Amino acid sequence: MISTSPPSHGESPLRTVQVLGRGGSGSAAHVRSLAAGLVARGVRVTVCAPSGAEDAYDFTGVGARFERVPPRADPGSVASLRTACGDADLVHAHGLRAGLRASLALKGPRGRRVPLVITWHTKVHTEGTRARLVCLMERRVARAAAVVLGACSDIVDRARERGARDARLAPVAIPAPRAHRAEPQEPDRARHKIRAELGAVGRPLLLVVGRLDRHQGYDVLLDAARAWCALDPQPLIAVAGEGELRTALQRRIDAGKLPVRLLGRRDDVPELLGAADLVLLPSRWEARSLIAQEALRSGVPLVATDVGGTRELVGGAAELIPYGNAAALARAVLDLLGDPARRDALAAAGRVQARSWPSEDDTVAQVLSVYDELMQTRR
């Protein structure tokens, strides 16, 4: 643990604004964790985000000030953000779109230059004309930032390609659970309860967690599931998540009589993990997948595509396969289900790998060191 004593920043505390857009749960949880750590170290923090973000993450509960700012780049929203950043010493945006809005807000008529830090959490997946627009946005955001913090080396390289003056690797720590929703249960009892609810008693349970969109590799997952149908007992694939592909996926599942259940949005992922035999991550690209981190930390063997920052995250503690290769996915799962010793070895290796990741304190310390460096440069 690093010291939580407030650092010296002159006569008044450092004033920061954290800008959050429509970011997923990972970036919002990171901002809450970062706000808590900064406030504990004597930094004044204002979080600018949609009103729903405060309801879900309670930024004021960790001592931050909250300003409702719509996640749009129209003149009114940019003006609101500019007002919120009026007395900031430093602005930190989380995500590309938040970075674009922050860069526009800081470009207004000002007598002083406020440093902009951007944490780039993930890539935007687009094709055709929209992909060119995203490239332009990436270039503008990368060049506007004093420092770009990339969640994985792949993103750091991308930021440098887009013209970032200073791009650094800054792995985001997985936040600790905020609270338990119910009375804790014995692990074996909770596992049996979940498996009975899902219809996975006496059969392997394969867990997938993620939004139902085409970048998560669900087409490949369903192709691979055909190979698992021949097993006895037949594995059940449980998919926790919601999205625009739900109807199309359910149609394929029904037509092929595949052993797949779409669970919808769930708030009991830790319990689902505790019941699972394997976690599958067939994504097209990931930076630092939350479910991959949770699986390794929980000791659940992981089969994942070797894309983005996944290898950097998991090391040798998971089975990595090429993206888009249904045969490789099917084979990896079949091999693991037939090899309990290998599953045990991966579970143990996963827990060891998880201990090598930065803690929330480590993440706050790195970010605060960047802030201090930028403040020193301004003096």
Give the whole-number percent of the chain exceeding pLDDT 90: 83
Residue 1 pLDDT = 38
- End-to-end distance of the chain based on CA atoms, in angstroms? 30
Q: Which residue has the tokens 């920061």?
A: 16
Residue 3 pLDDT = 41
Residue 10 has pLDDT above 60, yes or no: no
Residue 372 pLDDT = 97
Which domains occur in the chain, in start order? 15-173+359-378 (3.40.50.2000), 187-355 (3.40.50.2000)
Confidence of residue 77 (pLDDT cuts 50, 70, 90): very high
Residue 9 pLDDT = 45
Query: How high is the mean pLDDT of the chain?
Result: 92
pLDDT mean over 146-165: 97
Residue 296 has pLDDT above 80, yes or no: yes
pTM exceeding the 0.85 threshold for the entire prediction:
yes
Residue 220 has pLDDT above 50, yes or no: yes
Residue 200 pLDDT = 96
Which tens digits make up the pLDDT trace of 329-378? Answer: 999 999 999 999 999 999 999 999 999 999 999 999 999 999 999 999 87
Residue 25 pLDDT = 67
Least confident stretch, 107-121, 220-234, 242-256:
107-121
Residue 377 pLDDT = 82
